[in-house]
Amino acid sequence: MTQTVESLFDTGLERYKAGEAAESLIPVFKEVCDRAPKTSSAWICLAWLYLLDNKPSLAHKAAQKAVKLNPQDPQARVNLALAMLETGQKGLREHIDFAQQLIFVNPEWQDEIKNSIEDGLSRKPDWQSLAKVKKWLFEE
| Tens digits of residue pLDDT in 35-44 | 999 999 999 9
pLDDT at 64 over 60: yes
Range of the domain at 40: 5-138
Task: Write down the pTM of the prediction.
Answer: 0.95
For the chain, what is the radius of gyration of the CA atoms?
14
* Nearest 10 degrees: Cα torsion 18, 99, 124, 14: 10
pLDDT in tens, 70-119: 999 999 999 999 999 999 999 999 999 999 999 999 999 999 999 999 99
Number of domains in the chain: 1
Residue 123's CB: how many other CB atoms inside 10 A? 15
- The confidence score (pLDDT) of residue 31 equals 96
Give the CATH number, domain containing residue 42. Answer: 1.25.40.10
In terms of Cβ atoms closer than 10 Å to its own Cβ (0-12, 13-18, 19+), residue 131 is middle
